[in-house]
Amino acid sequence: MLFTDVLIVTGGFTVVFYLLKLLWTCCYGVRQYFLSEFWQLDLRRYGQWAVVTGATSGIGKAYASELARRGLDVVLISRSEEKLQMVAKEIEDQYGRKTRTIQVDFTDGHRIYSTIAAKLQGLDIGILVNNVGMSYSDHFAYFLEIPDAEQKITQVVNCNVLSVPQMTRLVLPDMVKRGTGLIINISSEVGIRPHPLLSLYSATKIFVTYFSQCLHAEYKTKGITVQCVSPFLVSTNMTKNVNISCFVKSASGFAREALNTVGHSSYTSGCLSHALQNMALTTFLPDQILMSPFFIRKLKTFAKMSKLRETEAQSSA
Q: Would you say 125 and 136 are in contact if contact means Cβ atoms under 8 Å apart?
A: no
The answer to pTM > 0.85 is yes
pLDDT, mean of residues 283-301: 84
What's the confidence (pLDDT) of residue 93? Answer: 97
Question: Could you tell me the sign of the dihedral formed by the alpha carbons of 204, 233, 70, 65, in that order?
Answer: positive
Residues 6+ apart with CB under 8 A from 85: 101
Closest CA to 258 of 91, 127, 77: 127
pLDDT, mean of residues 228-246: 84
What's the confidence (pLDDT) of residue 299? Answer: 81
What's the confidence (pLDDT) of residue 298? Answer: 83
Task: Give tens-digit pLDDT for 143-199.
Answer: 999 888 999 999 999 999 999 999 999 999 999 999 999 999 999 988 888 889 999
Dihedral of CA atoms 251, 257, 262, 268 in degrees, nearest 10, equals: -80
- Annotated active-site positions, please? 201
Mean pLDDT of the chain: 87
What's the confidence (pLDDT) of residue 170? Answer: 98
Long-range contacts of 291-300 (CB under 8 A, 24+ apart): 291/194, 291/196, 295/196, 296/196, 296/197, 299/140, 299/196, 299/197, 300/140, 300/142, 300/197
pLDDT, mean of residues 20-45: 66
Q: Would you say 254 and 62 are in contact if contact means Cβ atoms under 8 Å apart?
A: yes
